[in-house]
Structure 1
Amino acid sequence: MKIRHLVLAATTLSLGTAAFAGPQCTDTPKTGWLTEEAMKQKIAADGYTIEKFKVTAGNCYEIYGKNKNGQKAEVYFHPVDGSVVKAKQG
């Protein structure tokens, strides 16, 4: 009975991880990326406020914050050119 619960828990965890996986942005070495400071300035110029900023496992810059309309936003940016790769807003 315990093994069955462990297998179920492991399966649930692996499915949960896959469901929240972010995009893969680039294979470019970090020396070719916009600096974090330059990226934060670009994000602010695009009208976002940043509550959390990070580099993802998929080599993207990701923010949690608000868009120019004050709506919650989770946005992935390409670290080389600063373009939006994926966004969830509202």
Structure 2
Amino acid sequence: MKTITKTIRKTTTKTISLFLSLSLLLLSGSALADDDCDDPVASWQPRENLREKLEAEGWRVRRIKVDDGCYEVKGRDANGVKAEASFAPASLLMMKWEREEDDDDEDDDDNNYERNDKDRLVNQQQGDASSRMSSNGIVKDRPSVTVE
């Protein structure tokens, strides 16, 4: 009977230790995630507002995307430094700024971006929208959108 009691005690102690360890691990993970933005989506400003604000401050914006509830901007800041910054989507306040290293393995470096952007602008200036549409026979005209 004593061996059964010892075995139960050992199992219970191990279970409690495991439970406490997992609890601490989960709590530490949520503490690390506090850098994320938590603005309600209904109060977010459009990305274009952030782009206009940054360009007025001298930024060359390459990309704006949503990451962990924040707007993440990649581009060159007003000093010409290749940077990545996070902004609160409701207030457009900068939450974090970091210098982006030149050895990033991303496909879209600044030179490719600028070249592709120039190509896109040239294509827009040449011809109308129908000449750039695919000729798959399914879509015959560009859809129209009316905002009221």
Residue segments in structure 1 that go unaligned for 5+ positions in a row: 1-17
Choose between structure 1 and 2 for higher RCO, CA contacts under 8 A separated by at least 6 residues.
1
> Using the alignment, how far apart are the partners of 1:78 and 1:43 within structure 2?
13
> Using the alignment, how far apart are the partners of 1:78 and 1:51 within structure 2?
18
Instruction: Name the TM-score, length of structure 2 as normaliser.
Output: 0.42
Equivalent residue, structure 2, for 1:86: 96
RMSD: 2.2
The within-5 A match list for 1:54-65 is: 54-56=65-67, 58-65=68-75
> Using the alignment, how far apart are the partners of 1:73 and 1:44 within structure 2?
14
27 and 79 in structure 1: CA distance in 2 versus 1, 3 angstrom threshold? closer
Do the aligned residues in 1 keep the contact of 2:88 with 2:95 (CA within 8 Å)? Answer: yes
Equivalent residue, structure 2, for 1:52: 63
Question: Larger % of helix: which?
Answer: 2
In the TM superposition, residue 39 of structure 1 has moved relative to its aligned partner by 1.5
In the TM superposition, residue 72 of structure 1 has moved relative to its aligned partner by 0.5
The within-5 A match list for 1:17-56 is: 23-28=35-40, 30-56=41-67
* Identical residues among aligned pairs (%): 32
Question: Larger % of strand: which?
Answer: 1
Q: Which runs of 4+ in 1 moved over 2 A?
A: none
Instruction: Name the TM-score, length of structure 1 as normaliser.
Output: 0.66
Residue segments in structure 2 that go unaligned for 5+ positions in a row: 1-28, 101-148
Do the aligned residues in 2 keep the contact of 1:67 with 1:89 (CA within 8 Å)? Answer: no
> Using the alignment, how far apart are the partners of 1:25 and 1:45 within structure 2?
24
In the TM superposition, residue 51 of structure 1 has moved relative to its aligned partner by 1.1
Of the candidates 67, 74, 77, which is equivalent to residue 67 of structure 1? 77
Query: Looking at CA atoms only, which structure, 1 or 2, has the larger radius of gyration?
Result: 2
Do the aligned residues in 1 keep the contact of 2:39 with 2:89 (CA within 8 Å)? Answer: no
1:28-75 C-alpha deviation (Å, 9 max, x unpaired): 1x221111111111121222111121011x110011100111110100
Question: Aligned pair count?
Answer: 69
Q: Which moved more, 1:79-88 or 1:36-45?
A: 36-45
